Amino acid sequence: MSVKDMIKKSVLESGVFDQYNISSILVALAAALALGILIFLVYRRFYTGVIYSRTFAVTLVGMTVLTCMVTLAISTNVVISLGMVGALSIVRFRTAVKDPMDLLYLFWAITTGITAGAGMYVLALLAAAIMTDETVTIENVPNVRDTRVLLQAIEGIGAKVKYVYNNTVQINGGSICDINVDYEYIKKIRASYYLLGALLGKYKRSQVALPGGCNIGSRPIDQHIKGFKALGAEVEIEHGKISTKAEHLVGGHVYFDVVTVGATINLMLAACLAEGDTILENAAKEPHIVDVANFLNAMGANIKGAGTDVIRIKGVSKLHGTTYSIIPDQIEAGTFMFASAATRGDVVVRDVIPKHLESLSAKLIEVGCEVIEGDDWVRVISKGNLKSTNVKTLPYPGFPTDMQPQMAVVLALAHGTSMVTESIFENRFKYVDELNRMGCHIKVEGNTAYIEGVDKITGAQMSAPDLRAGAALVIAALSADGISEIEDIEYIQRGYEDFEGKLRGLGAMIERVDSEREALKARLKIG
């Protein structure tokens, strides 16, 4: 029985998608800025030294953002990463750090910046949990590499972390005594920069990191800077770092020139502990915007209007403990929906919010799939004979950029010519060469991919260039004749929990291997 037949006859069992929610990559820069402000606020409030340095406090914000930016730049190339480490190693601070606690905040900012660069907003929730001295319980936490390492880093600075269940974590930041986040944590994940914003908000001082994540294009932070200035912060960009400082963060009126998920989240995080009222206009509406706002509100923040283009925030003096469950991840759900479409499958995705999947469902219907929705489930039935269509990535509720590679695979197997326009990230078509080696006919011109559908594709040896592209290559491999091998799967492991195990539950013949010997055994088993 072929992989296609096995998937076609499979139904996704209940509980597969009850693990976690992953934010889109757009959150990274915004989260870094917002969390940097929060670290600044924490530093200012809890500073106990003799002379308070406003400049140092603002530097924490800049350090968070800069770290995030660096992470984004080096995330996909080991050689560049090593070169960057070598370059940074020759840079020395000429100003002595007089208070040991300043080091804690400094490394907190750096770690937070790295975390944001991973592009996983759920890590922002984990970092925000340490903004209170009370215990915060977070449910539906993904058991992926980035999450585990971030929790270890939080423990490393003195916070208490406890796994209550497999996907439920309790965090108490009341015992934080150090911000010297070990380099071992920083080098393992690029999303650790979220700690910057959290520490700034709580201790009123932080240091900013350079954004990180998959190398899918530039992520401007001009709207972040504009927002911070509106809240009374001074922002300086110098020597590859962003420095922000404010004796007092005060509410302000911010109109975003473009819809930006990252800046929206960053400003929500900063404004919730600012003095007075803040209004964010032309704000992003993504589900994870609402999720972050709900989480902060559960901790005592006063945020209204999340999910609309106008968000109103009334600053509070402090946050408190809470219990919160992360919403289901529409991108993971969408990945399995599109896998069903590409493999002529019949799959039920459970424990989702169908409203969040409307743009995906609409495109699947356009290409000829049957989509049936329930209260918390979506069923996708594909009988083949897929039809071409055009797709343009847009901010929510438009078609998400994180589903563009998966959609391209489906269209590559559809009859006729399709057009995919990427309006968010300019480097999101790096996977095209890999698909063409499998027999796809895709041509990229500028920010548009022209896809001529083919009857079949064949297995090949490929390399995943980033998280979502890696998932798309897996879908293509499931749809292809023959055996495929995909390298650099660490990208996939960053954002999908037990991806191969869930696919095997659908009937796929897929194995994760760690050596050539294991690869040979897998080929014999699958073949």
The 10s digit of each residue's pLDDT in 449-499 is 999 999 999 999 999 999 899 999 999 999 999 999 999 998 888 788 899
The 10s digit of each residue's pLDDT in 494-518 is 788 899 999 999 999 999 988 877 8
* Whether the predicted pLDDT of 397 surpasses 60: yes
Assess whether the previous peptide bond of 397 is cis (omega < 30° from 0): yes
* Whether the predicted pLDDT of 100 surpasses 80: no
- The whole-angstrom separation of Cα 203 and Cα 107 is 13
**Half-sphere exposure for 296 (CA within 13 Å, toward CB):** 34
Q: How confident is the model at residue 30 (pLDDT cuts 50, 70, 90)?
A: confident
* Whether the predicted pLDDT of 62 surpasses 50: yes
Task: Provide the percentage of residues in the chain whose pLDDT is more than 90.
Answer: 43
User: What pLDDT score does 188 carry?
Assistant: 55
* Whether the predicted pLDDT of 383 surpasses 80: yes
The 10s digit of each residue's pLDDT in 122-159 is 766 776 776 778 999 999 988 877 777 778 878 877 88
- The closest of 91, 120, 111, 219 to 159, measured between CA atoms, is 111
- The whole-angstrom separation of Cα 402 and Cα 423 is 12
User: What pLDDT score does 348 carry?
Assistant: 97
**Annotated catalytic residue within 68, 214, 272, 369:** 214
Q: What mean pLDDT is predicted for residues 24-36?
A: 68
Give 136's strand partners.
171
214 is catalytic: yes
- Taking the model in full, what pTM does it have? 0.70
User: What pLDDT score does 15 carry?
Assistant: 39
User: What pLDDT score does 82 carry?
Assistant: 47
Q: Is 51 exposed, middle or buried (0-12, 13-18, 19+ CB in 10 A)?
A: exposed
Residue type, 292: V
Which residues are within 8 A (CB) of 125 and not within 5 positions of it... i.e. 6 or more apart?
138, 291, 292, 295, 324, 326
Q: How confident is the model at residue 320 (pLDDT cuts 50, 70, 90)?
A: very high
Q: Which residue has the tokens 């704000």?
A: 283
Task: State the chain's mean pLDDT as an integer.
Answer: 79
Q: How confident is the model at residue 111 (pLDDT cuts 50, 70, 90)?
A: low
User: What pLDDT score does 414 carry?
Assistant: 97
The 10s digit of each residue's pLDDT in 210-266 is 544 455 555 567 888 888 888 888 777 766 556 677 778 888 999 999 998 878 888
* Whether the predicted pLDDT of 392 surpasses 50: yes
Residue type, 297: N
* Whether the predicted pLDDT of 43 surpasses 80: no
The 10s digit of each residue's pLDDT in 181-203 is 554 554 555 445 455 456 555 65
User: What pLDDT score does 216 carry?
Assistant: 52
Alpha-helix residue ranges (DSSP H) falling in 274-357: 287-298, 330-342
The 10s digit of each residue's pLDDT in 157-176 is 788 999 887 789 999 988 87
The 10s digit of each residue's pLDDT in 265-311 is 888 888 888 889 999 999 999 998 999 899 999 999 999 999 999 99
- The whole-angstrom separation of Cα 125 and Cα 104 is 20
- The closest of 406, 384, 391, 393 to 450, measured between CA atoms, is 391
Q: How confident is the model at residue 45 (pLDDT cuts 50, 70, 90)?
A: low
What the block records as the tokens of 49 is 């030294």
Q: What is the DSSP letter of 5?
A: H
Q: Give me the long-range contacts of 390-393 (CB less than 8 A, separation at least 24).
A: 390/418, 390/419, 390/420, 390/421, 391/363, 391/418, 391/419, 391/420, 391/421, 392/420, 392/421, 392/423, 393/421, 393/422, 393/423, 393/424
User: What pLDDT score does 5 carry?
Assistant: 52
**Where is pLDDT greater, at 113 or 401?**
401
Most confident of 108-117, 230-239, 418-427, 474-483: 474-483
- The whole-angstrom separation of Cα 195 and Cα 515 is 35
Structural domains of the chain in order of their starting residue, each with its CATH number: 3-18+329-526 (3.65.10.10), 27-325 (3.65.10.10)
User: What pLDDT score does 113 carry?
Assistant: 60
Q: How confident is the model at residue 18 (pLDDT cuts 50, 70, 90)?
A: very low
